[in-house]
Structure 1
């Protein structure tokens, strides 16, 4: 990576975002699991379910606090490191974030207090409603954030205004119901549910291995296995939907993920293994599954999936169109209004305006896009190709982990149904060792989504290179070091608190019956805890 403002700004935002996302999936999933457990408690009135809810709620609370602490700085970075981006699309991007704060975060933050401090001050149904409100707030928060992110991936419902030099909303309904945003939302929250399910499963398996809190642990494992299995299946289905939408809206990302340099005859094969070579612009030693990519990406047998070279050719055409739009825009600005230029200039801008962002790709090659040579246009077109190898392997590791989670959770669901959760100790250890894997899969998923759309900060509209603030390298390095240090300390604190709470185990609950003394006879053995 070059040591420049753009690269360092990208690195800083990537570091803070990926640190923050260490906490988000567990918050999303645990909030639903807590609501499920408390619902069972209210329906059955069995105190062990109340104890389960309070124990996993403690871990949820630790994670929730750290998630909030690491997320606050992210929104400030849009003005701090990405000021031109904020100016260019602030009217659109800011709306979902503002709604998230007003509608979702305040809901979640308000009711999380009732969850922790309202156990003995509220009725059972009242407290259950508060718990479900926390879960709803967590998921609504993710919805609005992913609506904002989905718009960056597929900028619909907006148009460029040459008078203000900004993007403006034309259809808020289209922004909210953007198909890319909706697919990202359900895919992301499902991944969070899997993360929480594996976490609960692994911690509970550890308790069973140690012979501690066995009754609570087995019930927790049953909930996690059933909830997690459904979620992991939905992740695969919704991931397929994301791949289909990428064929329509982010074809270069899809081609890079597949390492597909040439357009294959329909239906295109899926490359299971290969070694992409960016310099040679080909993928070596491929092992392919015939027709699989065509079915996944187009859901047909006769639609082609374009390769990287063909898409670069399309990019060159759009750059030339963007140059026409750029020239018309300069005339509009000089005349100080669209209504003050000739009809020919207006028609040129209206016909080519959607490709204006492609002209901005020439910014790294020539000061005035209108002066660009054929070689510079070709170089700018090839800059639309992200680094293929990291995307290729990140995607395959993520998908491989997804199918592993289905297998693991399916096995535990089967054992739970047979009431045999403690009969295979090796499988319990597998569950314990699998705890970090959902986080790896989630981080790789975000890497594929964000790294794969480079060089665009807004797909086809605004290149990342011109969206940054006018900062010095020293300033960014200092803040980057500060964020990494602070977030690392917070992560260590969170891990320490979580491990301490897990080792301590659930607190004795006054709703549970008192343990029998040695003098008190009993008719049948009771399970531990």
Structure 2
């Protein structure tokens, strides 16, 4: 029954997070693109750039509203579905979320109103400042959320207080400068920039295919291709940094992503493709690229990366150490707290406290981890291995799409430089049909990050199985069905509103020939062959 509650609680949070993350990347990326477009307007005085900013701003506003609606629910779930999690780490986890609301969300929400209603009430520079404030707020919001999430992946700057049974902040600066959080932030926002760039590129390509709004469409494609290429390249570089940090802080996740069952001699090979078999603990039909994984994971040629089997053996040792910390913790609580214990007991707890979370893995099998059998300890150690196949393939889907995004934006960047954006109709169609790909990559990346952390809700500190609230199965099923239904309706509403705005097109105030170079051999407007569904 408990495992069913855990699975349903995880499924509910995953469903709401996946829906919410459909809106987040586009909001982050479009906010920067709007600021760039309006900056060009203020610098050049050309009205066409204001028309562009207003049009893409309308789509930004629709997406922003849906993102807010879906994001609020997630914060309530921490207290409702994950009450022990909130009790255990709320002092640490709650601080970045509170700062996000005060510093980022209020900033963003305030200036969003000024962005839409201040065009005729603010000066050019004043409105530009407003637009950049919206972009700053969107990115700051992501920063604080990812600081909180990064702490879950690499819990630094905090320690357990045995008297209160809560994790408490010991160094907030360490929480802020957590290397995992910083790498996740820059990687995530770069992915959002790519998402927005491909969205703008695809929609603009559709206009070119339809022969509509060519002046705005081509300028938008130029901005999107340039911005998207830089962002796509940065995603690769920053993703490499995330992989390197995983070698230090989340070795099991890295081994699972690679399907690396046995420790390889340095430098380890990268498994390009294969079929992981978790029961047999091997990969079938695997194709390896020598040295690549060693270079990515260790940035050296002489450092090995531990495999899953070796990491499980290490987990057994940490469970044994954790049991010593658990025993000391129970005695501390029986004696009324840290003030009433012997030096030996305090030393026992402090020396082994870093592995206390591993002892809690045994709560899945026995109420008192100290009563666990050797077989249960061995099974708990194997519980530290997430499902390999979903991680293995999700990671490769994300990487494949990322490489394609570089090629796509790079191609249109070259075409833009040659003033040949409308020369190859098949490329325009590819751009249109590529619009969903960044979302698929983003969702796959989120899945790799979160699913790969299992069985931990806080890496090495708090197992997911002991973090949930004591809710009924029926309650979880009803709320899960309700969230999925409501979020699906919101998604359909957003898509309809976005498609309606796109079909309507930008409301222009500029001269259609403003700044347009007419080519002598330019073909007539092509007939549309691609429709927006």
TM-score category (smaller protein) = over 0.9
Match of 2:45 in 1: 45
Distance 1:282 1:343 in 2: 47
TM-score under structure 1 length normalisation: 0.97
CA deviations 1:167-190 (Å, max 9, x no partner) are 000000000010000000000000
The structural deviation recorded for 1:508 is: 2.9
The structural deviation recorded for 1:341 is: 1.5
- After superposition, residues 368-379 of structure 1 pair within 5 angstroms as 368-379=368-379
The structural deviation recorded for 1:283 is: 1.1
Match of 1:426 in 2: 426
Matched, 1:278 2:278: yes
- After superposition, residues 452-491 of structure 1 pair within 5 angstroms as 452-491=452-491
Match of 2:517 in 1: none
The structural deviation recorded for 1:338 is: 1.4
Match of 1:157 in 2: 157
Matched, 1:77 2:113: no
Distance 1:525 1:343 in 2: 88
Distance 1:375 1:142 in 2: 43
Q: Structure 1 residues 232 and 514, CA, compared in 2 at 3 Å: closer, same or farther? A: closer
User: What's the secondary structure of 2:160's corresponding residue?
Assistant: strand
Distance 1:514 1:187 in 2: 38
Matched, 1:92 2:92: yes
Match of 1:381 in 2: 381
Match of 1:232 in 2: 232
- After superposition, residues 78-477 of structure 1 pair within 5 angstroms as 78-477=78-477
CA contact (8 A) 2:92 2:167 kept: yes
The structural deviation recorded for 1:514 is: 8.5
For the aligned residue pairs, the C-alpha RMSD in angstroms reads 1.7
Distance 2:3 2:359 in 1: 24
User: What's the secondary structure of 2:287's corresponding residue?
Assistant: strand
Could you list the structure 1 runs, at least 4 aligned residues long, displaced by more than 6 angstroms after superposition.
524-528
User: What's the secondary structure of 2:271's corresponding residue?
Assistant: strand
User: What's the secondary structure of 1:4's corresponding residue?
Assistant: helix
| Residue segments in structure 1 that go unaligned for 5+ positions in a row | 517-523
CA contact (8 A) 2:195 2:438 kept: yes
Q: Structure 1 residues 280 and 114, CA, compared in 2 at 3 Å: closer, same or farther? A: same
The structural deviation recorded for 1:364 is: 1.2
Q: Structure 1 residues 307 and 525, CA, compared in 2 at 3 Å: closer, same or farther? A: closer
CA contact (8 A) 2:3 2:465 kept: no
User: What's the secondary structure of 1:336's corresponding residue?
Assistant: coil
TM-score under structure 2 length normalisation: 0.96
CA deviations 1:332-358 (Å, max 9, x no partner) are 000011121222111110100010000
The structural deviation recorded for 1:507 is: 1.1
Q: Structure 1 residues 346 and 254, CA, compared in 2 at 3 Å: closer, same or farther? A: same
Match of 1:7 in 2: 7
CA deviations 1:34-60 (Å, max 9, x no partner) are 000000000000011000000000000
Distance 1:244 1:175 in 2: 19
User: What's the secondary structure of 1:284's corresponding residue?
Assistant: strand
User: What's the secondary structure of 1:6's corresponding residue?
Assistant: helix
Which is worse superposed, 335-344 or 22-31? Answer: 335-344
Distance 1:4 1:130 in 2: 48
CA contact (8 A) 2:422 2:428 kept: yes
Q: Structure 1 residues 65 and 8, CA, compared in 2 at 3 Å: closer, same or farther? A: same
User: What's the secondary structure of 1:477's corresponding residue?
Assistant: helix
Match of 2:528 in 1: none
